Amino acid sequence: MEPLLLITHSDAGGSDALGDALEVLHGHASVEVAETSNPGELDGVLHRAGSRPIVVAGGDGTLHAVIATLHRRNDLAGKVLGLLPLGTGNDFARTVGMPLDAVEAAKALVSAVPREMDLIVDELGEVVVNSVHIGASALASHHGATWKERLGPFGLGLIGYPIGAAIAAVRPPFVRVRVEVDGVVVADVDRHVLMVAVGNGISVGGGTELTPDADPTDGEADVLVSFATTPRARLGYALDLVRRNHADRDDSVYLRGRQVSVAGESFWLSADGEISGPEGRRTWHVERAAYSLLVPRDAATR
């Protein structure tokens, strides 16, 4: 196995798990471990990566930071990344079939194969590795992140996601927006929407399969628009989301495309768990095969 550069964030948890995973990797390769605490440090570390595969030890946020920095440096094309899922949600790891146990993930990395991955990019050059969504789901992410931070020191960070979802369900932020997928209007400002999701990965919030058919290797993003705005419809939507058949509802639209535009009333958005806004317009497009990710051999053949 060729030499590796492993990047971890200084605030990330799972130090014991990381140590155990490193023991596995050290048995097969030379590994340089770089701990970063801010974007400047991360940029410096990536500058000296060379041709080595870059293993990200963390969750979706850490993976997003590494890929965003490489993309901003115009240094992402041709890069090979690996993932040791040490985050709270680890949603992109779930999508690509990487074991969520750090030691098992390290064992999988030893024999993993590179697979080209798509990337979602907006008109400002900001990237989305896993998922971006607006409306009720973005509010849920905001509240979930707050509770994750509060409960994380007690090892209960994952509980923050359902708490956030429950809070958002009480008073969801309906918005009137025009949604276009590859130039086709699928929602317009004459109708409130509960949420809009653009998925490169399957799940958000630690396993909630928001765009269940998403495939980060197919060159398209999966788009979900929910019009479930009445109290009864919202309850039904929430139950169907748990049952994983929310995309089949009469008040949902689910399709794929290479470019997605949302414009209308001001909205907040959650991109890979990072909340931003308010926005009035945003357009995303898919950059196919933007980088390669090491995935387990059995996952690579699916």
Share of the chain above pLDDT 70, in %: 86
pLDDT digits (tens, 9 = 90+) for 211-250: 999 999 999 999 999 999 998 998 898 889 889 999 999 9
Q: 204 has which bridge partners?
A: 208
| HSE, side-chain direction, 13 A CA sphere, residue 70 | 28
Per-residue pLDDT, 147: 47
**Residue 56, SS3 per DSSP:** strand
Tokens of 34: 């770089």
Look up residue 27 and give its two tokens: 């048995």
User: How far, in Å, CA of 18 to CA of 104, rounded?
Assistant: 11
Q: 3-class DSSP state for residue 261?
A: strand
**DSSP 8-state assignment for residue 143:** H
- Give, as one character, the DSSP assignment of residue 189: T
Whole-number Å distance between alpha carbons of 196 and 135: 7
For 128, the 3-state DSSP assignment is: strand
Q: Check whether 137 has a pLDDT greater than 90.
A: no
Residue-wise pLDDT tens digits, 190-210: 999 999 999 999 999 889 899
54, pLDDT greater than 80: yes
> Do strands 80-85 and 54-58 pair parallel, antiparallel, or not at all (unpaired)?
parallel
Higher pLDDT, 177 or 175: 177
Strands 131-135 and 195-199: antiparallel
CB of 63 within 8 A of CB of 35? no
Given a cut of 60, is residue 159 above it in pLDDT? Answer: no
Q: How far apart are CA 229 and CA 195, in angstroms?
A: 9
Is residue 1 very low, low, confident or very high in pLDDT (cuts 50, 70, 90)? confident
Spell out the residues 6+ positions from residue 254 whose beta carbon is closer than 8 angstroms to its own: 211, 213, 222, 223, 224, 225, 247, 248
Q: Determine the average pLDDT of the residues in 69-93.
A: 94
- Find the mean pLDDT for residues 270-288: 91
Task: State pTM to two decimals.
Answer: 0.87
Sequence-distant (6+) residues with CB within 8 A of 208 are 161, 165, 241
CB-CB contact of 293 with 117 (8 Å): yes
Residues 85 and 214: their CA atoms lie apart, in Å, by 20
pLDDT, averaged across the chain: 88
- Kindly state the average pLDDT of the residues 102-120: 96
Q: From the CB of residue 48, how many other CB atoms can be counted at a distance below 10 Å?
A: 10
pLDDT in tens, 3-42: 999 999 876 545 788 999 999 999 999 999 999 988 889 9
Which has more confidence, 1 or 177?
Answer: 177
Output the six-digit token pair for 182: 């590859």
* pLDDT for the residue 226: 94
